Amino acid sequence: MTDETHDRRPDTPDRLDTTDRTDQAQGSQEVADHPVPPGSVVVGVDGSPAANRALAWAVAEATRRERAIHLLCARETYIGAAHLDSSVAWTDPTLDALDSSLTVIEEAKAYVDQVSPDLRVTFSRPWGRPAQHLVIASHDAEIVVVGSRGHGRLASVMLGTVSLQTAAHARCPVIVVREGQPEHPTGSLKITVGVDGSTDATEAVAFAMRMAGPGGDVDLVLAWWLEMIDGMVVTTKDSPAWEQVVQRHHATIERALGNCREEYPNVTVEVHIERGRTEEVLLGAVKDSDLLVVGSRGRGGFAGLLLGSVSQHMLTAAPCPVAVMVNRREDR
């Protein structure tokens, strides 16, 4: 995206300017959905300020990487109760009149045309739960971008159910953009990655290297807390045992990196190994980052826990958007 294009982007796209498209949307008949283009950036849209921020981030990323963008606006299915022993999906003219999905799509398309007119745009308006269809779309997408507008003390409430469910079940990386976070930069990215030696973390490193772009920076952060050498807990900094622990974790990071340095020679890699609680170490490392990348669950996870505690905490507390890497094994 050029500086000129960036200057035309609204500072806060809480309400999209689509004056010349609204009448067209209201007068349109049913419009056929498009399939999700393979390797595209999929973004969930619903016209809310949170979704509009996610849209802005997704458009900037799709433009930067020359990817198609797919706008997905799910329409809830109304369930009838004509018989106690049946559950039949139904609609009536009154409810159909309340369907604003086409207007939402047209407004989103107008925003894309405004800030990135050369970007390829497709869309779909499926009936059903938003998270369900975002997960379906994730099978073909390179990334899925969702906004978060939930509020409350519990992580699942604070984050929002759509964001949480999509991040937990999607089959590609999911980027959650919360309100108040910085806009997507127009050039390369500074990315922080949480590394723990798990399969998710290994995929997270490769994903971050791809996302950073030429001239980008990737900071690999590994936190450790309780380690034992020769039956003794390691607590003395700079002691031989401490250095042995650090070297062990350096080896973990190098395994996660694999040949990424050779594949992405224009990306700067930094390594930080620190003793402390994982959440605290990551929050300290991510202050100036454009994106934090974490795994969906670490080595201590189990099949029933689809989104680990660290990932959930980062999704609600990180000052920048968070990408959740998905473990694609069938034992999920």
- Proportion of the chain above pLDDT 90, given as a percent: 53
Average pLDDT (311-315) is 87
Residue 117: the pLDDT is: 96
This model's pTM is above 0.85: no
Poorest-confidence range of 102-111, 247-256, 298-307?
298-307
| Ranges of each domain in the chain | 3-178, 190-322
pLDDT of residue 233: 79
Cβ–Cβ contacts within 10 Å for residue 277, how many?
Answer: 12
197-208 per-residue burial string, b: 16 or more CB within 10 A, e: under 16: bbbbbbbbbbbb
Provide the pLDDT for residue 105: 95
As a whole number, the mean pLDDT across the chain is 80
Q: Which of the 8 DSSP states describes residue 35?
A: P
Domains 3-178 and 190-322 share a fold: yes
pLDDT tens figures, 49-74 = 999 999 999 999 999 999 999 999 99
Average of per-residue pLDDT across 111-128: 96
Domain at 3-178, CATH class: alpha beta
pLDDT at 22: 38
pLDDT, greater one: 138 or 98: 138
Nearest to 28 by CA among 104, 108, 87, 85: 104
- 190-322 in CATH: which number? 3.40.50.620
pLDDT band of residue 143 (cuts 50, 70, 90) is: very high
Judge whether residue 81 has pLDDT over 80: no
